[in-house]
Chains A and B, each alone.
Chain A
Amino acid sequence: MNKGLVKISPCFEDVMPQEYKELVEKGSYGQDYGVADLGSFKELIEEHPLCAGCGLALSMRLILASLPNPESTIIVGSTGCSALAFSQVALHNIHSLFGNQNAVATGLKRALKLRFPDEIKDVVVIAGDGATADIGLDMVMQSWFRRENITTIMLDNEAYANTGGQESGMTAEKAVLNMAPKGKNFPKVNLADVAQVAGCAYVATCNPAKSRVLEKAVKRAILAAREIGPTYVQIYAPCPTNYKLKPDEVLATVKNREKEGTYPTGEFISAKAQELFESLEGGSK
Chain B
Amino acid sequence: MLNRYYRVQAGPEGYLPPAAASMGVMLPEKGEALVEGIIVSEEEAMQKIAEKIVNAKNPVFFPGPNILWAWNDSVLEKAYAVNDLVQSSGARVIPMPDYRPKYPMINPEVEINPNHPNLTIWHNHIDVCVFVGVHCHYANIALKIIRGGTDCYTIAICGEAGHEDAMISLRDVSIDTLRRLNDVIKSTGEGLK
Residues in A lying within 8 Å of B, measured CB to CB: 5-12, 15-17, 20, 47, 49, 87-90
Contacts and interface: CB of A to CB of B under 8 A. Distances in A.
Contact of A12 (B93, B100, B102): B93
Contact of A9 (B67, B100, B101, B103): B67
A6 B69 contact: yes
Given A15-B95, A17-B97, A9 B102 contact: no
Contact of B79 (A9, A49, A87, A90): A9
Nearest to B83: A11
B75 to A, nearest CB: 7
Given A17-B110, A49-B103, A7 B94 contact: no
Nearest to B107: A17
Given A6-B69, A20-B97, A12 B63 contact: yes
A11 B98 CA distance: 17
Contacts of B107: 17
Nearest to A23: B97
A104 to B, nearest CB: 17
Given A15-B93, A88-B103, A9 B110 contact: no
A90 B100 contact: yes
Contacts of A89: 100
A19 to B, nearest CB: 8
Nearest to A46: B102
Contact of A49 (B69, B75, B104): B104
Contacts of B101: 87-88
Contact of B95 (A6, A7, A12): A12
A16 B68 contact: yes
A89 B102 CA distance: 9
Contacts of A17: 95, 97, 107, 110-111
Interface residues of B, number: 24
A258 B88 CA distance: 65
A230 to B, nearest CB: 29
Given A15-B93, A15-B95, A88-B101, A8 B70 contact: yes
B76 interface: yes
Interface string B55-98: 00000000100011111000110011001000000000111011
B7 to A, nearest CB: 33
A167 B69 CA distance: 44
Contact of B100 (A7, A49, A88): A88
Contact of A5 (B71, B79, B95, B98): B71
Contact of B69 (A7, A11, A47, A88): A7
Given A49-B104, A88-B102, A88-B103, A9 B93 contact: no
A11 B79 CA distance: 7
A199 to B, nearest CB: 35
A9 B103 CA distance: 26
A285 B104 CA distance: 42
B102 A8 contact: no
A79 B102 CA distance: 18
Q: Which of B83, B98, B100 has the most CB of A within 10 A?
A: B100
Nearest to B97: A20
Contacts of B93: 12, 15
A9 B76 contact: yes
